[in-house]
């Protein structure tokens, strides 16, 4: 039996999906988690009473017995007990690797520090509009193994993948793959930006078509086996690029010198969204989706929840929820994207768990577009240290207080933007919870 024992490390949603998948295949499974009470424990023990569970640490003895270690994205390969097994040559894989070994239809794979959920959603909608039975998930939404099991009729998978997932993926062969952008994130997990970038670039291994961001050299694909490369850019596109073209005083999404759609026809504002739309077009085009189906999605798409989402307008002030801005690059993009579109100034609400981030890249954008910054959470003092010489700063201990302060300083034509540049776990369950609380308070104003 133990000859094929798979030990699943981490009992979150991903770990649970791995146990389900392996059990259905009749592969013997054991589970371990560093937490004494992981989130899905009760449900797990009811469903799989016979599966051995080891909690409160990583059991080296059990890891040694494993044929394969299935690592959840939340656990680093550098964790000493795991690193020891890697050094011994023990196979360590993630859920995406198990998926890759089993999938029989094309995959479009998307990573990047920011915007991957939006672009994954757009490409999925474009494929569905073009008539493909498509399944969308991964790091966003449904774990890949559940997606595989529940979508037997799918002829295409569109996956959002994180750097953590890519570290333990070896045999995924995407039809189209992209790295949308690379800015510092998860610096509590990676020693250097190079290490983080290297993890992201793994998505291009074995891909047929690579889509790269012309404006971000860190996304460049240098894999020898790639048959085609497409680019997106916020500048004027060359012939193999999707970009922005000016014609007759209007700005268009364009392919080479062919205008496709005036940006005024897009329901979502901001330069960072234009980049997302262009990336999705480049990926769909690389896969062979018809242009009309792709453009019809862009005309209708109103954006994702918690991603620069307009909550309400009150007394000439617009309130935006960008709770999904969990790192510096995301918040920088939101400030630049929104700031350049409004006639007033931004009041920014930021802060939370800083993940060892360097907040200094925020300063130029904040200085250019913000009237005032309200800071919350553990990282408030760290952010203040970087910006308070150049912009007015205040501190709030709760989201309620932060919203009241923002309402007090906002003037007509201003916009209030919740874009924390931080994780949420000091005050909230997750970024969705943080955004929900913000929206409820704003609606009560």
Yes or no: say if 20 and 81 are a contact pair by the CB < 8 Å rule: no
In the annotation, is 240 catalytic? no
Cα 365 from chain centroid (whole Å)? 22
**Tokens encoding 358:** 């360097």
Residue 248 a catalytic site member: no
Beta-carbon count within 10 A of 50 CB: 7
Of these residues, 6, 125, 186, 306, which one is catalytic?
186
CA distance 303 to 345: 22
d(CA 308, CA 318): 11
Alpha carbon distance 159, 176 (integer Å): 11
Here the tokens at position 366 are 């904040």
- 340 DSSP 8-state letter: T
Contact 420, 327 (CB under 8 A): no
> For residue 234, what are the CA distances in angstroms to 220, 245, 263?
16, 9, 12
Work out the number of other CB atoms within 10 angstroms of the CB of residue 285.
Answer: 19
Q: Could you tell me which residues are beta bridge partners of residue 313?
A: 318
Are the beta carbons of 243 and 86 closer than 8 angstroms? Answer: no
Catalytic residue among 116, 272, 285, 372: 116
Nearest to 40 by CA among 59, 16, 56, 24: 16
Q: Identify whether 139 is a catalytic site residue.
A: yes
Asked if residues 211 and 201 have their Cβ atoms less than 8 Å apart, the reply is no
CA dist., res. 204 & res. 381, Å (int): 39
As annotated, the active-site residues are 116, 139, 186
């Amino acid at each position: 039996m133990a000859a094929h024992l798979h030990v699943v490390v981490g009992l979150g949603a991903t770990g649970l999906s791995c146990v389900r998948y392996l059990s259905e295949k009749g592969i013997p499974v054991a589970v371990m988690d560093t937490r004494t009470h992981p989130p899905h424990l009760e449900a797990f023990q009811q469903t799989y009473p016979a599966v051995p569970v080891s909690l409160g640490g990583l059991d080296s003895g059990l890891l040694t017995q494993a044929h394969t270690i299935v690592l959840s994205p939340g656990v680093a390969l550098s964790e000493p007990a795991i690193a020891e097994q890697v050094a011994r040559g023990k196979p360590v894989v993630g859920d995406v690797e198990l998926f890759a070994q089993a999938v029989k239809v094309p995959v479009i794979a998307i990573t990047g520090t920011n915007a991957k959920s939006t672009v994954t959603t757009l490409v999925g909608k474009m494929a569905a509009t073009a008539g493909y039975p498509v399944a969308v998930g991964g790091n966003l939404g449904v774990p890949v193994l559940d997606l595989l099991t529940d979508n037997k009729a799918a002829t295409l998978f569109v996956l959002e993948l994180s750097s953590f997932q890519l570290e333990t993926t070896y045999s995924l062969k995407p039809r189209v793959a992209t790295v949308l952008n690379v800015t510092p994130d998860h610096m509590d997990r990676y020693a250097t930006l190079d290490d983080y970038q290297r993890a992201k670039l793994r998505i291009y291994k074995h891909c047929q078509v690579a889509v790269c961001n012309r404006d971000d050299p860190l996304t460049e694909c240098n894999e020898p086996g790639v048959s085609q490369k497409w680019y997106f850019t916020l500048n004027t596109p060359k012939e193999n690029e999707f970009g922005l073209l000016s014609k007759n005083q209007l700005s268009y999404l364009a392919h080479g010198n062919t205008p496709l759609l005036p940006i005024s026809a897009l329901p979502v504002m901001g330069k960072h969204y234009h980049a997302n739309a262009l990336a999705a077009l480049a990926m769909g085009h690389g896969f062979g989706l018809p242009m009309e189906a792709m453009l019809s999605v862009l005309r209708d798409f109103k954006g994702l929840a918690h991603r620069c989402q307009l909550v309400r307008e009150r007394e000439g002030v617009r309130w935006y929820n960008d709770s999904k801005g969990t790192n510096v690059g995301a918040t920088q993009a939101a400030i630049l994207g929104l700031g350049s579109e409004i006639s007033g100034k931004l009041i920014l609400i930021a802060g939370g768990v800083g993940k060892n981030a360097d907040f200094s890249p925020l300063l130029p954008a904040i200085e250019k577009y913000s009237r005032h910054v309200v800071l919350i959470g553990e990282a408030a003092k760290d952010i203040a240290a970087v910006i308070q010489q150049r912009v007015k700063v205040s501190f709030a201990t709760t989201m309620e207080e932060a919203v009241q302060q923002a309402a007090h300083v906002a003037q007509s034509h201003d916009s209030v933007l919740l874009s924390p540049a931080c994780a949420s776990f000091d005050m909230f369950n997750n970024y969705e919870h943080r955004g929900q609380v913000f929206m409820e308070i704003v609606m009560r104003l």
